[in-house]
């Protein structure tokens, strides 16, 4: 493509609302155009990358025996009402009515739609397993869309759904798709890690679910991993052990002590000159399951944080939220001085984190203004004994068996796979005949890749102060050919090289614009194609050589014009 004919514009200034590198660079490099909050037009350069990502995904899905279909973006509300998700999706789903007053929505996901297709098509176990996928537009009405394509409202997604007669079959296809996802991201040239994840409302507690995370300093997600054992998990799912807790063992009686105006763990422990790990943090939540609401007191070591995902899963809660200040007062709790001793609230659920040594002594709130207890021993001084793994894993913890240390990395979720079980097939009354001729409910798996999010994540992982550094497999083009000179003979020679590169099926951008070399080099670095080919009029007249520069490494190669195609192919093969 010649840039004199291209629909492409770059910008010096960074948009004021662009907070992260991918958003800034995609706007400045002319890859996307903002239409509205969380809504973007994919411009020609950016769309080429998106199509390449789609093609890699499509090839790996087909190789894994998946079959492509295309479902509508607008789906009838009755399917969502049938599954019970019409109300649960809440404000995240954009709903409306047609002229016949029928409920419709812009699909944020397609479990209901594909299950409806399946139940009206497949009747026997003989037709299973089957995996269907699409690459299509999704819409989620994010309250605060931000970060460009990373968290937009409209986006492109590959979503696949598998159907099975039994769990072993589901496990096998799940493993096949797991490998297909690994192949996808390897082919895209991305550094990624696969982590155990929480399925949330999508999957049952005993189902497998994994996230595929592109490693990047700007990632929203935290990943707990151990290089020595290979363990990796999303921080919301990670199970680890503390490495540094030393129980305070004593037989001294529990003692009330004044702590005037000290309401936080930090202030209380500083005042009492004790370690935060020798105090207990008291957190009060309300948990709603069905029509039942419970008040829950959670007790953690003072320097630990609560993992709300783990608490919600332990309680099997549909909704979980900390009590607001006025709710605490109404429930009989005294903010800043809450503790597990002497509680009088009825039907209160009290849970200690697994890391709390029940025979150790702690500082706890005394449920009285400006007072705490010292030497509180849970097994001795309270009637509540329940424990569960509720703490948030952190840097320096040990793996669950206690042998190796874990670290924290940041990542961007680009893929997520779930075992759904019979959640949707049961809700939509799907039945097929098993091998005994009896009706049975099939099982499902669900597998998503954020296509446009991958493009943004690739930039988050691959950029420098000059611009983007594209992996070769998903770069808009492979070569940025810059002509530096105005001599008509050199112009004609450059055009000949450009034609030869095209004939060799090399994807090349020919910068034939009448602008200075500094302008061209800045645009070349900003766009970030893997290779930059330079024909400089003055240098060429002196030595008859062209220059190839690798965008990522900065290495420069001097070549003869007739060597250009072969050298470019060789370099691209090594990237």
Closest CA to 527 of 37, 6, 154: 6
Q: If we measure between CA atoms, which residue out of 482, 476, 483, 491 comes closest to residue 530? A: 476
Q: Are 449 and 158 in contact (CB under 8 A)?
A: yes
- pLDDT 10s digits, 334-383: 999 999 998 988 889 999 999 999 999 999 999 999 999 999 999 999 98
Residue with tokens 């497998």: 208
Question: What secondary structure does DSSP assign to 426-467, as a single string?
Answer: HHTT--EE-TTS-EEPPEEEEEEEEHHHHHHHHHHHSEETTE
pLDDT of residue 137: 95
> What are the two backbone dihedrals, phi and then psi, of residue 45, each rounded to the nearest 5 degrees?
-65, -45
Looking up tokens 């699909």 gives 107
Q: What local confidence, expressed as pLDDT, does residue 376 receive?
A: 96
Predicted confidence at residue 17, as pLDDT, reads 86
| Rounded-to-integer distance, Cα 14 and Cα 23, Å | 9
- Give the C-alpha separation, 367 to 331, whole Å: 12
pLDDT for res 500 = 96
pLDDT interval class at 206 (50, 70, 90): low
Domains and CATH numbers, the chain: 18-239+409-460 (3.30.930.10), 255-388 (3.90.960.10), 477-574 (3.40.50.800)
Q: Which structure tokens are listed for 53?
A: 């990502």
Q: What is the mean pLDDT of residues 424-429?
A: 94
Does 552 have pLDDT greater than 60? yes
Tokens describing residue 186: 């390897």
Asked if 20 contacts 460 with a C-beta cutoff of 8 angstroms, the reply is yes
Structure letter (DSSP) for residue 331: T
pLDDT(164) > 70? yes
Cβ contact 337:367 at 8 Å: yes
- pLDDT value of position 428: 95
pLDDT at 185: 98
Q: How far apart are CA 238 and CA 395, in angstroms?
A: 12
To the nearest 10 degrees (0 to 180), the angle between helices 564-574 and 488-503 is: 50
Q: DSSP per residue over 174-186, as a string?
A: HHHHHHHHHHHHH
Which pTM was predicted? 0.86
Q: Which of 232-236, 410-414, 521-525 has the lowest mean pLDDT?
A: 232-236
Radius of gyration of the chain (CA): 29
How does pLDDT run across 277-335, given as a tens digit for each residue? 999 999 999 999 888 999 999 999 999 999 998 999 899 888 899 999 999 999 999 99
């Amino acid at each position: 493509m010649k840039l004199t004919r291209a629909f492409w514009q770059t910008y010096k200034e960074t948009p004021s609302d662009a907070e992260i590198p991918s958003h800034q660079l995609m706007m400045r490099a002319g890859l996307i155009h903002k239409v509205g909050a969380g809504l973007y037009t994919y411009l020609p350069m950016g769309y080429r990358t998106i199509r390449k990502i789609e093609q890699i995904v499509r090839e790996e899905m087909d190789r894994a025996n998946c079959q492509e279909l295309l479902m509508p973006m607008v789906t009838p509300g009755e399917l969502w009402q049938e599954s019970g998700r019409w109300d649960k999706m809440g404000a995240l789903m954009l709903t409306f009515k047609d002229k016949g007053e029928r409920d419709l929505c812009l699909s944020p996901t397609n479990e209901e739609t594909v299950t409806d297709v399946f139940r009206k098509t497949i009747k026997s176990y003989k037709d299973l397993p089957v995996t269907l996928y699409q690459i299509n537009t999704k819409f989620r009405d994010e309250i605060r869309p931000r970060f460009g394509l990373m968290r937009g409202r409209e986006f492109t997604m590959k979503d696949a759904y598998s159907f099975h007669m039994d769990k072993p079959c589901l496990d096998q296809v799940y493993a096949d798709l797991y490998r297909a996802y690994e192949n996808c991201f390897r082919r895209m040239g991305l550094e990624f890690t696969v982590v155990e994840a929480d399925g949330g409302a999508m999957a049952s507690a005993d189902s497998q679910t994994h996230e595929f995370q592109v490693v990047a300093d700007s990632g929203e997600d935290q990943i707990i991993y151990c290089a020595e054992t290979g363990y990796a998990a999303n921080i919301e799912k990670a199970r680890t052990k503390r490495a540094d807790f030393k129980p305070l063992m004593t037989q001294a009686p529990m003692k009330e002590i004044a702590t005037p105006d000290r309401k936080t763990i930090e202030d209380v422990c500083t005042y009492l000159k004790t370690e935060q790990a020798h105090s207990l943090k008291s957190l009060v939540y309300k948990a709603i399951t069905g029509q039942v609401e419970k008040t829950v007191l959670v007790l953690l070591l003072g320097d630990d944080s609560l993992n709300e995902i783990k608490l919600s899963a332990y309680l099997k809660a549909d909704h979980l939220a900390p009590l607001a200040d006025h709710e605490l007062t109404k429930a009989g709790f005294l903010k800043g001085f809450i503790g597990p001793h002497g509680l009088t609230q009825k039907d209160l659920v009290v849970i200690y984190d697994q890391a709390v040594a029940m025979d150790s002594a702690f500082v706890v709130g005394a449920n009285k203004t400006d007072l705490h207890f010292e030497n509180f021993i849970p097994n001795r001084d309270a009637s509540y004994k329940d424990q569960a793994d509720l703490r948030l894993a952190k840097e320096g913890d040990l793996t669950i068996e206690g042998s190796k240390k874990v670290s924290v990395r940041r990542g961007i979720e680009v893929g997520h796979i779930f075992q759904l079980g019979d959640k949707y097939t049961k809700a939509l009354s799907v039945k097929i005949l098993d091998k005994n001729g009896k009706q049975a409910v099939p099982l499902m798996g669900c597998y998503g890749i954020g296509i446009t999010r991958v493009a943004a994540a690739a930039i988050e992982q691959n950029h420098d102060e000059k611009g983007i550094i594209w992996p070769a497999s998903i770069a808009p083009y492979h070569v940025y050919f810059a002509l530096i000179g105005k001599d008509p003979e050199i112009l004609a020679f450059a055009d000949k090289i450009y034609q030869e590169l095209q004939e060799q099926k090399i994807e090349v951008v020919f910068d034939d614009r009448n602008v200075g070399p500094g302008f061209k080099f800045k645009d070349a670095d900003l766009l970030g194609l893997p290779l930059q080919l330079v024909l400089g009029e003055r240098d060429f007249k002196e030595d008859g050589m062209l220059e190839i520069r690798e965008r990522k490494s900065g290495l420069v190669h001097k070549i003869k014009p007739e060597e250009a195609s072969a050298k470019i192919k060789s370099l691209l093969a090594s990237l």
